[in-house]
Amino acid sequence: MKEIIRAAFVIARRDFTAIIYSKAFIFFLLGPFFPILVGVAAGSLGGQIARDTARPVIGLAMAQTDSEKMLAARDTLAKNMGESYFTELKIVGEATADQSKNPQDYLKKKDDNLSVVVTGTLDKPIITGTKRSVDRESPDIELLAAHALNPGLVKLPDATSDIVAETANNDKQLRTVTAQGGQVLVFFLTMLLAGMVLSNLVEEKSNKIIEILAASIPMESVFLGKLFAMLGMALLGVLVWTSVGLIGISLLGQNMPSFPTPAVGWPLFVTLCFTYFILAYLMLGALFLGIGAMAATVREVQTISMPVTMAQLINFFFASFALTKTGQPVEILASVFPFSSPFAMIGRAALEPTLWHHAVAIIGQIFFAILVLRVGVYLFKKNVMKSGNAGRIKDGGKRKLFGLITVKG
């Protein structure tokens, strides 16, 4: 066992150094920022277009004095109720001058983007528009007309604020948002980073490097070293992205959305999310290592790994579905099944304060990751190396591995 660990450490150090000092690693670190920037830009642009094109306007075609009173009533009430509460008003005509003009003529003008047109008088306003628009705008128009007729009729009292930390409604329903955020983040990082293991092993198989390694050290060391090298690379990437994210949060300040405090508290919740990310990465990475060891070409890797990726997506949806069903059979199954367990346990950490469940889940996931790794090594020896000893040298001598340690043959 000591020999396997030492050899695995050498493999991990070799692969980790080769990865982080390559030019591709810089682009790997920059990779996630491009879709985020594109998404933010597209979202902002799309939101602005939607606001500009879909912003409804109420057209006023009443007597000039009535229309001005409606505008004044809106300005007065908007100061207390908020500017966004009332739809924008716009004078589009005057009743005395346009008696023969049909209200529908105003609605046909595309430049004004009118949803309804108000005619008639303040005590009997007539609202013209589609049924949906009329139903939506009628309460506000009636309120404004009532205030315009008698400004003292509608007077809002000044309420005194009494702030509390949280209510019963904030206990579970709002914490679901935190749970979903943790699940999505861990799933995204796992799927983004675990696939790197595949390409690395396939490249070394095509270059015959894997045969040299298999002849010098146990295959368990090769698999374990590569897995932990990729994990180290993933953690370095997460560290860089987290640092940039914290800088962005500090710049945004109050504009950032707030998430409800999880049941176990933020420090422990973040620690558990980080732990479950590592375990999810190790389990999926060990599975991908086995796939990469069995595949001979990149095309085979893509063909075999696609069902695994889809299955992992199903596991994530399964854990998300069981999120609000704590203690029920479906949630217990999601917590026990290894590949969905990290995501289900993140949800449980946000909703339930019990901690011993996490200790059991973490131990189980560790043993399952070891099992998947051992199965991958066994299949590689049996089907690829055609030898139970993976082609290791049997001359009883010693071999230098990369000039760093001496491994018995």
CATH assignment at residue 69: 3.40.190
Q: Please report the pLDDT score of residue 339 as a whole number.
A: 93
Burial readout 216-243 (b: 16 or more C-beta within 10 A, e: otherwise): bbbbbbbbbbbbbbbbbbbebbbeebee
Q: Same structural domain for residues 114 and 207?
A: no
Q: Which of 118, 149, 180 is the last residue of a domain?
A: 149
Q: Same structural domain for residues 342 and 221?
A: yes
* DSSP 8-state symbol, 255: G
Whether 270 maps to a domain, the answer reads yes
Q: Same structural domain for residues 143 and 227?
A: no
Whether 161 maps to a domain, the answer reads no
User: Which residue numbers in the chain have pLDDT < 70?
Assistant: 43, 46-55, 96-101, 152-172, 198-208, 252-258, 296-298, 384-409
DSSP labels, 75-88 = HHHHHHH-GGGSPE
Q: What are the distances in angstroms from CA 320 to CA 48, 59, 108, 335, 362?
A: 32, 46, 47, 11, 19
- Alpha-carbon distance of 409 to 392, in angstroms, equals 7
Q: Same structural domain for residues 132 and 74?
A: yes
Asked if 55 contacts 63 with a C-beta cutoff of 8 angstroms, the reply is no
Q: Please report the pLDDT score of residue 316 as a whole number.
A: 92
Q: Which of 149, 164, 184 is the last residue of a domain?
A: 149
Q: pLDDT (tens digit, 9 = 90+) per residue, 8-23?
A: 888 888 888 888 888 8
> Is the entire prediction scored with pTM above 0.85?
no
Q: Same structural domain for residues 204 and 110?
A: no
- Alpha-carbon distance of 115 to 136, in angstroms, equals 10
Whether 193 maps to a domain, the answer reads yes
Whether 304 maps to a domain, the answer reads yes
Whether 35 maps to a domain, the answer reads no
Q: Measure CA 359 to chain center.
A: 25
Q: Same structural domain for residues 14 and 139?
A: no
Q: How many residues does the chain have?
A: 409
Whole-number CA gyration radius for the chain: 32
Whether 333 maps to a domain, the answer reads yes
* DSSP 8-state symbol, 387: S
- Alpha-carbon distance of 330 to 328, in angstroms, equals 6
Q: Same structural domain for residues 233 and 349?
A: yes
Q: Which of 309, 298, 311, 286 is nearest to 378 (CA)?
A: 286
Sequence-separated (6 or more) residues with CB below 8 Å from residue 383: 294
Q: Same structural domain for residues 288 and 365?
A: yes
Residue 351's region, left for phi above 0, alpha for psi from -120 to 50, else beta, is alpha
The range of the structural domain enclosing residue 74 comes to: 55-149
Q: Same structural domain for residues 213 and 259?
A: yes
Q: Which of 117, 149, 181 is the last residue of a domain?
A: 149
Q: Please report the pLDDT score of residue 371 as a whole number.
A: 94
Whether 46 maps to a domain, the answer reads no
Q: Same structural domain for residues 123 and 265?
A: no
Q: Please report the pLDDT score of residue 403 as a whole number.
A: 47
Q: Measure CA 290 to chain center.
A: 28
| Residue type at 107 in one-letter notation | L
DSSP labels, 150-200 = -TTTS----PPP---S--GGGTTTTHHHHHHHHHHHHHHHHHHHHTHHHHH
Whether 155 maps to a domain, the answer reads no
Q: Same structural domain for residues 179 and 139?
A: no
Q: Same structural domain for residues 96 and 218?
A: no
- Alpha-carbon distance of 276 to 342, in angstroms, equals 5
Q: Please report the pLDDT score of residue 217 as a whole number.
A: 84
| Count of structural domains within the chain | 2
Question: Strand 114-120 relative to strand 125-129: parallel, antiparallel, unpaired?
Answer: antiparallel
- Alpha-carbon distance of 294 to 89, in angstroms, equals 68
Q: Please report the pLDDT score of residue 397 as a whole number.
A: 46
Q: Please report the pLDDT score of residue 253 as a whole number.
A: 60
